[in-house]
Amino acid sequence: MQRQTSSTATKDPSEARPRAATVREVQVPEAITVARLAELVHATPIDLMKQLMRAGVMASINQAIDFNTAAAIIPAYGYRAVPASAAKAAAVADVEKDDPSKLIERPPVVTVLGHVDHGKTTLLDAIRKTKVAEREAGGITQHIGAYQTEYKGHKITFLDTPGHEAFTAMRARGANATDIAILVVAADDGVMPQTVEAINHVKAAKVPIVVALNKIDKPEADPEKVKRQLTEHGLVVEEWGGDVITVPVSAKSRIGIEDLLENILVVAEVAELKANPNRAARGVVVEARLDKSRGPVATVLIKNGTLNVGDFIVVGNVRGRIKALVNDAGRRMKSAPPSTPVEILGLNELPQAGDTLEAVASEREARVLVEERLQKQTGGRTRASLEDVVNRIRTGQSKELNVIIKADVQGSIEALREALSKLGTDKAQARTVHVASGAITESDIFLAVASEALVLGFNTSIEPGARRLADSEGVEVRFYNVIYTMVEEIRGMLEGMVKPVAKDVVEGHATVRAVIARGKQSKVAGCIVSDGRVLRNAMVRVLRKGQVLHDGPIQGLRRFQEDVREVATGVECGVVLANFDDFQEGDVLEVHHQE
């Protein structure tokens, strides 16, 4: 990537190096230590400190100085300071503005999604083997998280981790790696909950779908029924005037695989997937692991440009220099063009899946970029809050409020859907990105991040991992147990109002160990506090197998016959609820209050 010297685009990183006579630009962050600045301008720290002193600034070697101070002294070394962030913005724009004449076709990147046991893994294996049969002997297939196959002279890249968790997790981190989604539906089983989830994830990503109607070798396979079910979820197949291609296959008997590949190429052709191989590489990490003998190893999918052995790179917050590139057949390569999955060696730490890779012109540039990324992370989040979304509706910039609904039972779902569909104003409408029964999961939160949606729980709870993710990602999750309340709140949002009152704060959880009868009076739940605390004046949701049975105030909280106001983690207590006493051993009491 071209980012520190001249403004003309160059293909060869070596051209990016300045000629000695010119004044060189160097990126300087808002604050920089004397030691680091010295490194950037190729001076000794002592020398730099003397310069600073002459300018009236006393700074020790590890002390940070600001941009203006740095900018004032480095011309003495033949450098000119440019703000690091401005340079970065220019570089990003550079990527988007690849000269169209330099773009050439690149292979499509395909992800396989679908319900469990519908045959995703078998299909990925079947596709991989079609290539092995064609290829000369000797290559050892490696599982590196992605592979490339070839059909009629065209390459196709497959991401090898089936399931929409990987897909959505990557999207939530801003890495859109997939060009085409294959939705696998077993024709004997039909559209199932995870099929619907996958459909909604892919729709949110605006990625074209090819449906593989799998297991057609089975006598009970009913592809026509599946097509009808798909239509109900907004995927209208070609035969019925829609644009969704369906291909009957049997992953197990290897029937229809070539037909599927053929159709992927058709969709790729329409999508006009292009990249510029003659530029510094950009990519995304598909998988990363620590290898005992080789150190940190990451599988990277090249999205643009070409990655070469010897390139300086930044991956997430990790620096490195490419020591070796290994493809999915276990062969060493000198370079990796766009859409190629490669294992890279030469990182000094382990990056994360979803991190972006950038090749840079020098080690120094790599350092600056890492520093900048770290600084950015400590700065606040940029994600739109619910208030932002509602503000956009109010000012007419947006016409949709995306919602994800999780409810206790199918019956509630129908009722909620119905109520929401009647809500739209001329200004805005509620759009349901995903609806399903069960607790709110991490997958729901990822989808919410990807589609800037609000998550609504109706008589349901949220898994602890999903709660943490929602908090860290700034996703708004609201709970209701009366349809009317939910509808009114959404109506308010569509009219441009956010009711900030209903923030639900979970104080802790207690597990019911014993149910104690108290004569004619209500039963007491003998509990142990598993996390957080129980507060006398809080509310309690009674959860059984993830479903909410009851939500209401605490009537009594006792410890050894004593009324108490608060019970801490690890301590036993007796809880009496107003209007509910149908406890069972194993129930979880979620203690919460509205802020």
Residues engaged in binding ligand GDP (CB under 6 A) = 114, 116-122, 162, 214-215, 217-218, 250-252
**Closer residue to ligand GDP (CB): 51 or 250:** 250
Integer-rounded Cα radius of gyration of the chain: 29
Report how far residue 296's alpha carbon sits from residue 322's, in angstroms, rounded to the nearest whole number.
12
In the bound complex, what is the minimum distance in angstroms from residue 142's beta carbon to ligand GDP? 19
**Closer residue to ligand GDP (CB): 120 or 392:** 120
Report how far residue 156's alpha carbon sits from residue 158's, in angstroms, rounded to the nearest whole number.
7
In the bound complex, what is the minimum distance in angstroms from residue 126's beta carbon to ligand GDP? 8
In the bound complex, what is the minimum distance in angstroms from residue 162's beta carbon to ligand GDP? 5
CB atoms within 10 A of CB 489: 19
In the bound complex, what is the minimum distance in angstroms from residue 217's beta carbon to ligand GDP? 5
In the bound complex, what is the minimum distance in angstroms from residue 119's beta carbon to ligand GDP? 3
Q: Across the chain, how many H-helices and E-strands are there?
A: 15, 33
Instruction: Report residue 125: phi and psi, to 5°.
Output: -65, -45
In the bound complex, what is the minimum distance in angstroms from residue 48's beta carbon to ligand GDP? 59
The number of angstroms, rounded, from the C-alpha of 327 to the middle of its chain's C-alpha atoms is: 25
Q: Which residue type, as a one-letter code, is found at position 200?
A: N
Which residue's entry shows tokens 């070409």?
Answer: 306
In the bound complex, what is the minimum distance in angstroms from residue 199's beta carbon to ligand GDP? 15
What is the DSSP secondary structure assignment for residue 361, as one 8-state letter? S
The token pair at 512 is 């019911």
In the bound complex, what is the minimum distance in angstroms from residue 428's beta carbon to ligand GDP? 38
CB atoms within 10 A of CB 121: 15
The token pair at 210 is 């090819």
Which residue's entry shows tokens 């995870």?
Answer: 194
In the bound complex, what is the minimum distance in angstroms from residue 112's beta carbon to ligand GDP? 8
**Closer residue to ligand GDP (CB): 108 or 114:** 114
Residue among 239, 237, 223 nearest 190 (CA): 223
Output the DSSP codes for 201-257: HHHHHT--EEEEEE-TTSTT--HHHHHHHHHHTT--BGGGTSSBEEEE-BTTTTBSH
Residue 271: C-alpha distances to residues 168, 176, 206, 282, 410 (Å): 21, 15, 12, 20, 37
The token pair at 44 is 């000794």
**Closer residue to ligand GDP (CB): 117 or 269:** 117
**Closer residue to ligand GDP (CB): 216 or 462:** 216
What is the DSSP secondary structure assignment for residue 449, as one 8-state letter? H
**Closer residue to ligand GDP (CB): 194 or 327:** 194
- Packing angle of the helix pair 193-205, 442-451 (nearest 10 deg): 20
**Closer residue to ligand GDP (CB): 250 or 340:** 250
In the bound complex, what is the minimum distance in angstroms from residue 117's beta carbon to ligand GDP? 4
**Closer residue to ligand GDP (CB): 125 or 262:** 125
Residue among 316, 263, 291 nearest 108 (CA): 263
**Closer residue to ligand GDP (CB): 201 or 592:** 201
In the bound complex, what is the minimum distance in angstroms from residue 157's beta carbon to ligand GDP? 19
Residues 162, 125 contacting (CB under 8 angstroms): no
**Closer residue to ligand GDP (CB): 218 or 533:** 218
Tell whether the torsion through CA atoms of 262, 268, 284 and 168 is positive or negative: negative
**Closer residue to ligand GDP (CB): 163 or 346:** 163
In the bound complex, what is the minimum distance in angstroms from residue 116's beta carbon to ligand GDP? 5
**Closer residue to ligand GDP (CB): 24 or 118:** 118
Report how far residue 198's alpha carbon sits from residue 144's, in angstroms, rounded to the nearest whole number.
23
Q: Which residue type, as a one-letter code, is found at position 64?
A: A
